[in-house]
Structure 1
């Protein structure tokens, strides 16, 4: 399998939306799957002064997904009629009661990679910083029903390290952007048992 993955590697932009781990992903499940929307896979990268940091995120979050620049909900729990975005955070703050949650059915996972020269300790710190990106793009996030996990790797190909402040800022930024792209690239899906999951474009 490892050799097959290496043989399939390319410089093309990675597939996004309903692919791989994103095929069965859904978001906005706090008030039940019948009010959820389609999740997916997204990616993003930023290059600053010759160093690149990128993220690949599979978003199957319990909470809503937000535009990280505006904090506006772009996919998540819908109103009871299914026609509009609800805003889970506001609904919970106003006393709405969540549906019983199934353990092991929600998580956002991903990898943050850089060509900077980093140590193992620095890689761990970048993974921690990348979770700030999840907090900017998912709400609620890091719930007891989510298994949110991020990994970090460094290739060292850039031959330099611009400092952890820069790298951590980039890690959080690309994670937030990739998470939003995961739902923006997703397409609506109707399951075999009739559950319809609209995509972000349907309610834009």
Structure 2
């Protein structure tokens, strides 16, 4: 067994990073939802977008050199572009509790967000709304208040509720994706990741290379095929609409970093995606990773070590996203809806 395989049995997750809390909320009538990383006191943040079809909000302000230095939450949402409405609910929660950027006339909460496309499952008219975002904040605070009582939920919850992976040969041959989390701690410095995996590609074990979830031989088969291998052998993929797949996530650390350093951390996180998803960063994916620093300590092992930790945490979180997902044979929860 690879030494890092042991981490699968551990409860490490992004909430091991001091200064943040995480909450999930789901819509009741469809497999979709929102996950919020809440940092009410503010955290420095950056972003790196590698997918060609992203759905995002408030990412330009995260560019090094731009004015705003702190965010108060990051929202990961289902529902495609419609799901960005959930971030409005996160803003409402923050405003109601007195958090935000003081502008003189009002406190303005800063809530970057990214969405994934999960409209294939059930009624596409049902997607995360402002109330869903507000509820995710409430769930985050409840989890913080009961810290140590239970681990962070993973799999088909929050932004991972309706995720699918392995859609290269059609959504009817896909498997459930989900949301996963992991963290790495070295001498007091923690780097954690929260990843919602809805990739067009397959998901692999990052150390052993074997398939964990992805395209299946037929719609009623339990046998997976290696989509990447089939593509290289000349098999044509099914037509895929740009933006109907995406892996989105948050990398967080307790050590103090500035925007340029956090941008490098987000970039390194994409290496973790590349270790687990094949193919990744395609024209049909909107892969987006945020990175934030809760600035709880000044001690740091240096950027080389931090980027390695980010790579590792993302790879583990992506693997956990599919390992915690619902069985793909459960037709009531995974079968794609008829075309609208």
Normalising by structure 2, report the TM-score: 0.55
Report the alpha carbon displacement of residue 8 of structure 1 after superposing the two structures with TM: 3.1
The residue matched to 1:131 in structure 2 has which SS? helix
195, 198, 216: which one aligns with 1:60: 198
1:142 to 278, 281, 301: 281
Matched residue of 1:90: which SS?
helix
8 A contact 1:53–1:115 mirrored in 2:
yes
Matched, 1:130 2:269: yes
Indicate yes or no: 2:147 matched with 1:8. no
Deviation for aligned residue 1:47: 0.3
Bigger-Rg structure (1/2): 2
Task: Answer yes or no: is the 8 Å Cα contact 1:118–1:161 preserved in 2.
Answer: no
Alignment of 1:36-185 (within 5 A): 36-80=174-218, 82-185=221-324
Superposed CA RMSD: 1.8
Query: Which of 171, 176, 190 is the equivalent residue of 2:331?
Result: 190
Contact 1:25 1:59 in 2 (8 A): yes
How far residue 191 of structure 1 moved from its aligned partner, in angstroms, is 4.5
Give yes or no for contact 1:112–1:151 (8 Å, CA) kept in 2: yes
| Separation in 2, partners of 1:120, 1:102 | 33
* TM-score, normalised with respect to structure 1: 0.90
1:123 to partner: Cα distance: 0.5
Higher RCO (C-alpha under 8 Å, 6+ residues apart): 1
Matched, 1:23 2:161: yes
SS of the aligned residue for 2:195 comes to strand
What are the superposed Cα offsets for residues 109-131 of structure 1, whole Å, 9 maximum, x if unpaired?
Answer: 00000001111110011000100
Pairs aligned (count): 196
Q: Deviations over 1:9-48 (max 9, x none)?
A: 5245321001011111000000001110000000000100
Show CA shifts across 1:142-166 (max 9, x none): 0000000000001121331210000
Q: Distance in 1 between matches of 2:334 and 2:313?
A: 36
Structure 1 stretch displaced more, 170-179 or 151-160: 151-160
Can you give the 5+ residue segments of structure 1 that lack an aligned partner in the other structure?
A: 197-204
Change (3 A) 1:155 1:61: same
SS in 1 for 2:295: coil
Match of 2:319, SS?
A: helix
- More moved, 145-154 vs 181-190: 181-190
Which residue is 2:124 aligned to?
A: none
> Per the alignment, do residues 171 and 121 of structure 1 end up closer, same or farther by CA in structure 2, a change over 3 Å counting?
same
Q: Contact between 2:175 and 2:334, CA under 8 Å: does it hold in 1?
A: no
